[in-house]
Amino acid sequence: MKIYAVVAGVLIFWVGLGFYTIDRFQGNATQMLDEIGRTETAIFAARWDEAAASIDNIKRAWEKHQRWWNVFIDHDEIDNIDTALTRTEQYVKARERVLATGELAVLKLMLEHIPEKERVSLKNIF
């Protein structure tokens, strides 16, 4: 009977971890997307110092969340986010409005895409 308890435990653990992961991805992404929204507003208003500070906030948040994301997400996707973040930072430093907003849009898409990809839906299953 012990083996069936182990089986039940394993299944409960994975299902629980699955739901927790989706929730955490969503929470982390929302936090960073909010900050990206503030960065965008600052760039459009040409408040470059404010945009740079906002990028720093995104980087700090990403460094914190990245450790968790690395365990579950394809490492290539993590690298893509790192690359987009570094590019945006440089464009903001160079005060390149078009390039910075373009790269921010890519970053936004990637951050929205990962929690979306993990969600339990017919689209993702099939």
Partner 1 sequence: MLLVIIRTLILYVAVVVVMRIMGKQEIRQLQPFELVVALMVADLAAIPMEDTGIPLLSGLAPITVLMAAQITMSFISMKSEKARGIISGSPSVVIKNGRIVEQELRRLRYSINDLLEQLRVKNYPNLADVEFAILETNGQLSVIPKSQKRAVQPIDLQIPTEYEGLPLELVVDGVVIHKNLRLVNLTEDWLRNELSKLGVKDLKKVFFASLDTAGKLFYQPKADTSGGRV
Report whether 100 contacts 92 (CB < 8 A).
Answer: yes
CB of 52 to partner 1, least distance (A): 31
* Contact window for partner 1 (CB under 8 A) among 7-15, 29-37, 56-64, 83-91: 7-15
* Contact window for partner 1 (CB under 8 A) among 33-41, 73-81, 85-93, 103-111: 73-81
Q: Which of 7, 45, 46, 94 binds partner 1 (CB under 8 A)?
A: 7
> Rounded to whole angstroms, how far apart are CA atoms 62 and 117?
18
Residue written as tokens 């996707």? 77
Query: Which amino acid is residue 109, in one-letter code?
Result: L
Report whether 32 contacts 65 (CB < 8 A).
Answer: yes
Q: Which of 75, 123, 125, 126 binds partner 1 (CB under 8 A)?
A: 75
Rank residues 10 and 46 by Cβ distance to partner 1 and give the closer one.
Answer: 10
- Asked whether position 120 contacts partner 1 by CB under 8 A, the answer is no
- Alpha-carbon dihedral of residues 67, 72, 76, 81, nearest 10 degrees? -50
The CA distances from residue 93 to 47, 66, 87, in Å, are 11, 23, 10
Q: Which of 30, 41, 70, 86 binds partner 1 (CB under 8 A)?
A: 70
Q: By CB under 8 A, name the binding residues for partner 1.
A: 3-4, 6-7, 10-11, 14, 70-76
